[in-house]
Amino acid sequence: MRFLLFSVLISIVTLNVNAQDAKAQGILDRLSTKMKGMKSFYIEFSASVKNNTTGTNENEIGKGWVKGNKFYASYGDNTMICNGVKTWTIVKDERSVYESDANANDEESINPKKLMTIWETGFKNKYDHEDKLNGEPVHVINLYPKVPAKAEYHTIVLYISKTDNELLKASMKAKDGTVMTYVVTKFTANPDIDDTKFVFDKKKYPGYPVIKD
């Protein structure tokens, strides 16, 4: 009898977990469909990087323009430009430009396009709970890397608006104790963006060597 009750309990818990995962996937699928239906978007965000062990506590603000597979982003004093083929990262403190392939898999690099689609590849998901963010009802969904050994983060927490079905916040928890948090402060769908926005012009950065990965 005890074994039967235990088996029923395990079945209920398993069904509940599967239902929660299905709920998370459904929300993320709807968000992906919404994002893919946009020809472009503009985003403003605040970002923080904290690590209690190292004493790191940094805060920046950023902006990003995305059109198809192209993007332009400013983050503090740094700038990222991607024309869909190449990505250039301009680091002001180093007076250097780093050039890489646009499809390179860089775990440490977060750009506005990746931020708004991060759940689509390489992660398992689980619905956590409903909450409120600045008074707005949100879904809280956890992402876990499918291959933990190859990932910088052990958990990413997404906060998605229940009303507008938009990503409002993402908190990325790295294995070394660093927590990177991005809060979307403004989002505009389908703005007109000229393609010249995504052209890297070396003349604008005199004295900056271009370092190719």
Element (H, E) at 25: helix 2-36
Q: How far apart are CA 21 and CA 148, in angstroms?
A: 19
The pair of three-digit structure tokens given for residue 62, joined into one six-digit string: 């950023």
pTM: 0.82
Per-residue pLDDT at 105: 54
| 94, 195, 205 from 201: Cα distances, Å | 18, 13, 8
Per-residue pLDDT at 178: 92
Per-residue pLDDT at 8: 37
Q: Which residue ranges form the domains of the chain, and what is each CATH number? A: 2-86+103-196 (2.50.20.10)
Q: How far apart are CA 211 and CA 213, in angstroms?
A: 7
User: Apex CA 147: angle with CA 35 and CA 88, to 5°?
Assistant: 55
Per-residue pLDDT at 110: 63
Element (H, E) at 155: strand 153-161
Q: Lowest-pLDDT range, 52-56, 107-111, 153-157, 177-181?
A: 107-111
What are the tens digits of pLDDT across the range 92-106?
999 999 999 987 655
Higher pLDDT, 24 or 110: 24
Is a pLDDT exceeding 50 seen at residue 73?
yes
User: Can you tell me the mean pLDDT for 147-165?
Assistant: 89
When pLDDT is cut at 50, 70 and 90, the band that residue 121 belongs to is confident
* φ, ψ for residue 172, nearest 5 deg: -110, 120
What are the tens digits of pLDDT across the range 31-46?
888 888 889 999 998 9
What are the tens digits of pLDDT across the range 63-72?
999 998 899 9
Per-residue pLDDT at 2: 41
